[in-house]
Chain A
Amino acid sequence: MSGEIIAIAIGTIFINNFVFSQFLGICPFIGVSKKLDSVLGMGLAVIFVMTLGSMVTYLIYKYLLVPFNLQYLKIIFFILIIASIVQFIEIILKKQLPFLYNALGIYLPLITTNCAVLGVALLNINKNYNFIESLIHGFSGGVGFLIALFLMSTIREKLDLATIPKAFKGVPIAFISAGLMALAFLAADRSMLDIFK
């Protein structure tokens, strides 16, 4: 059991990294990675929403949609659940933890349309994960996203100072560096999991 959980965690963070190999959450990845300061806020907010989101969507699917044979409504239900969770977190943070709200504030509404959050909820169902596995999948997906975002932003801060051909300035060079990082992430493959067996 614990071996499987470690396998899911390592697999989601490195082997099937949400950004570099599954292409989930590319929009914030390119949009937010310009400054290192904003990365931590965005990454933490995503981890939080993804963990909570995969827990709640799993429970709703298992105990509401399946008993009533409503599986075909999962897209509508999941997007509404995620949107409400984001709203809910925003309200609670504003009241209880204003310093955290100030740090995460502008990133929270963006998360509703982050495809990684809905993606992880749908993948949990597709892969037949149970509650604990869904929770770990959501959390480690967020961690993988934060790692990708952090690496990218450090590279982009350096790129600002580098001399780049005019045609590649800005977004094109960001995509090329993301490609190189995706190549590096290929080094992590299934053999990495053998350590834990």
Chain B
Amino acid sequence: MDNVIIQENKSNSLFKKNILYFTNGLLKENPALILLLGMCPTLAVTTKVANGIGMGLATTFVLLFSNLLISLLRNFIPTKVRIPSYIVIIASFVTTIDLLMQAYLPLLTNSLGVFLPLIVVNCIILGRAEAFAGKNTAGKSILDALGMGLGFTFALILISLLREFPGTLKIDFSDFGLGILTFLKNADNPTLSIFRFNIYSGAKIFTMPAGAFFILGLILAFKQNIENKKKYGDK
């Protein structure tokens, strides 16, 4: 009887230990919002929620497979040439996802444009390869990749929601072959109106490049505000 309980406890703590590798990337070390890695795609593709989801999942795919392969090969890659080897591995998976998306999601590939092949130079992926996958077992690396990838996707979705909805008053999923989500009539060009007076039909600045800088700056300021409150107590 005691034995069973001990075993359960052991597996429980093992589970807890491993789940930390996963949750680490989601919030505590969120690559885009906390570590400020991969800023180029974060700012560039977040004009639409659909783009954010596509970019986030493509990055997660590359991160997952490159982390897995690198952690499996970590004892075979000589330390001196590890960075070039990592880059070749990453570039192969980026080519794979690029070709797959061109075949199955051509519209999304078009709107992501040059940023899909540029996943190669996304610092998150090389950073995780160097800091984590090159030193840890395959299982841990998979958890780390999933946590980091989904954390990045979450950050992209958050930023793109804050940009697309105020900017156009709709959320356009037509790149995935789905419809357009809006709370107003006239889905193509939604306008908020009271008694025939058009009040607001989206502020273009949110979808312009400047809007990306503003929204990310505000999110970071919000985060810093919370940190300050924690550090100096409620004031």
Contact = CB atoms under 8 A, between A and B. Distances in A.
A172 B210 contact: no
Interface string B104-131: 0000000001100110111100100000
B92 interface: yes
Describe A's contact surface by its main secondary structure.
Answer: helix
A98 interface: no
Contact of A118 (B113, B118, B126, B228): B118
A23 B214 CA distance: 14
A179 B220 CA distance: 14
Given A21-B209, A172-B218, A176-B214, A113 B126 contact: yes
Given A73-B95, A76-B88, A113-B126, A172 B217 contact: yes
Contact of B39 (A27, A80, A168): A27
Range of interface residues on A (Cβ < 8 Å): 35 or more
Interface in B200-219: 205, 208-214, 216-218
Contacts, number: 120
B87 A26 contact: no
B224 A79 contact: no
A128 B221 CA distance: 42
Given A182-B209, A183-B210, A79 B217 contact: no
Contacts of A173: 217, 221
Nearest to A168: B221
Nearest to B114: A122
B222 interface: yes
B94 interface: yes
A179 B222 CA distance: 17
B213 A179 contact: yes
Interface in B7-41: 36-41
B175 interface: no
Given A20-B209, A118-B121, A175-B220, A76 B91 contact: yes
Interface centre among A20, A167, A174 (most CB of B within 10 A): A167
Contact of A79 (B39, B113, B120, B221): B120
B91 A172 contact: no
Given A72-B95, A122-B114, A27 B84 contact: no
Interface string B37-51: 111110110000000
Contacts of A186: 208, 210
B37 A27 contact: yes
B174 interface: no
Nearest to A87: B84
Nearest to A123: B114
Interface in A142-197: 165-176, 178-180, 182-183, 186
B220 A75 contact: no
A180 B212 CA distance: 11
A130 interface: no
A105 interface: no
19 contacts: A22-B44, A23-B40, A23-B209, A27-B39, A75-B91, A75-B95, A75-B117, A79-B91, A113-B126, A123-B114, A126-B114, A169-B224, A173-B221, A176-B217, A176-B218, A179-B210, A179-B211, A179-B214, A183-B210
Given A75-B94, A118-B118, A165-B221, 4 more contacts: A20-B209, A74-B117, A113-B126, A173-B221
